[in-house]
């Protein structure tokens, strides 16, 4: 089973790119982030025509996440628990039936957090604490779980072409990286790092200053797997070539193959 994550950076602006990639890659389940539309504005029928069931948690103009699945949804949960006043659409969970039982896949869009020293950075860290609490509860179920999304965290220096450009950015602050490590310490595995130690694998290139042409990228889109999902890990891939397509997102799809 192929499960992917992709920050699409506006699904209506990238619909042709999205459909072309789906036809090429043939993922079974996809988590999209930054769909930037309310649920009613999501181009659901275009994805249904390719055989996908669609679940969205949208927001006008900003944020927004979605799940596309060739499997039917057994359950859909929208919004990260822990703060009833949080209106930002950044989290959606789907539950699916697989031969081994239940599979849970989350599409998440973690807050950027810039600038440091503002409420935006505090919100980022608070959101990560809520995610840790949620994940700790879900891991007790001992089911295959995939946390797929744009984490807006650069885990290590090797996850950037030039880490010196990011030392004052919220994506690489000690607090951000510590929170990601705490999440992994619950028992979650970074799928890509379980398969390679390569230092030139990036998932985001800025639109400015020819970043993609210079391969001046960072790795901030991650697939974290529960132990039960890690047991079935086969391969992980980054579809870098999609960044070179017409009207690309500044992120590219990352996918994992599980023998479920």
Residue 210 sits in a domain of what CATH number? 3.60.10.10
**pLDDT value at position 209?**
87
Q: What is the pTM of this model?
A: 0.98
Peptide linkage before 115 cis (omega within 30 of 0) = yes
Per the annotation, the verdict on 207 as an active-site residue is no
Contact 176, 159 (CB under 8 A): no
φ and ψ at 78, to 5 degrees?
-110, 135
Strand order in the sheet with 221-225: 75-78, 91-98, 101-109, 145-150, 221-225, 189-190
Per the annotation, the verdict on 150 as an active-site residue is yes
Q: Which residue out of 28, 52, 150, 169 is catalytically annotated?
A: 150
Instruction: List CB contacts of 24: < 8 A, sequence separation 6 or more.
Output: none
**pLDDT value at position 28?**
98
Domain count, the chain: 1
Query: Which tokens go with 166?
Result: 């990011």
* 144-182 burial: b if 16+ Cβ within 10 Å, else e: bbbbbbbbbbbbeeebbbeeeebeebbbbbeebeebbee
Q: Which residue out of 39, 49, 83, 109 is catalytically annotated?
A: 109
Going from the C-alpha of 238 to that of each of 54, 178, 192, 208, 255, the distances in angstroms are 23, 25, 9, 21, 7
Domain that holds residue 40: 2-258
**pLDDT value at position 5?**
98
Count of alpha carbons within 13 angstroms of residue 190, beta-carbon side = 21
Contact 197, 145 (CB under 8 A): no
Angle formed at CA 255 by CA 113 and CA 245, multiple of 5 degrees: 80
Q: What is the pLDDT along the chain (260 residues), one digit of tens a residue?
A: 999 999 999 999 999 999 999 999 999 999 999 999 999 999 999 999 999 999 999 999 999 999 999 999 999 999 999 999 999 999 999 999 999 899 999 999 999 999 999 999 999 999 999 999 999 999 999 999 999 999 999 999 999 999 999 999 999 999 999 999 999 999 999 999 999 999 899 999 999 989 999 999 999 999 999 999 999 999 999 999 999 999 999 999 999 999 99
């Amino acid at each position: 089973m192929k499960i992917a994550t992709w920050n699409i950076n506006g699904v209506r602006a990238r619909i042709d790119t999205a459909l072309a990639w789906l036809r090429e890659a043939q993922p079974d389940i996809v988590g999209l982030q930054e769909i930037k539309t309310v649920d009613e504005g999501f181009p659901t029928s275009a994805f249904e025509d390719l055989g996908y069931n669609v679940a969205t948690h949208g927001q006008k103009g900003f944020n927004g996440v979605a799940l596309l699945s060739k499997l039917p949804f057994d359950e859909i949960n929208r919004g990260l628990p822990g703060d009833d006043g949080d209106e930002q659409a950044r989290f959606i969970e789907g539950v699916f039936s697989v031969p081994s039982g239940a599979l849970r896949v989350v599409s998440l869009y973690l807050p950027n957090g810039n600038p440091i020293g503002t409420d935006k950075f505090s919100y980022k860290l608070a959101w990560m604490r809520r995610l840790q609490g949620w994940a700790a509860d879900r891991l007790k179920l001992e089911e295959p779980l995939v946390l797929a999304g744009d984490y807006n965290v650069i885990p290590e220096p090797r996850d950037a072409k030039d880490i010196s450009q990011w030392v004052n950015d919220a994506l690489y602050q000690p607090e951000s990286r510590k929170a990601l490590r705490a999440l992994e310490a619950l028992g979650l595995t970074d799928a890509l790092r379980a398969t390679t130690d390569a230092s030139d694998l990036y998932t985001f290139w800025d639109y400015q200053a020819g970043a993609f042409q210079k391969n001046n990228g960072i790795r901030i889109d991650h697939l974290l797997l529960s132990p039960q999902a890690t047991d079935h890990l086969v391969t992980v891939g980054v579809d870098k070539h999609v960044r070179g397509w017409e009207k690309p997102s500044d992120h590219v799809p990352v996918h994992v193959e599980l023998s479920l």
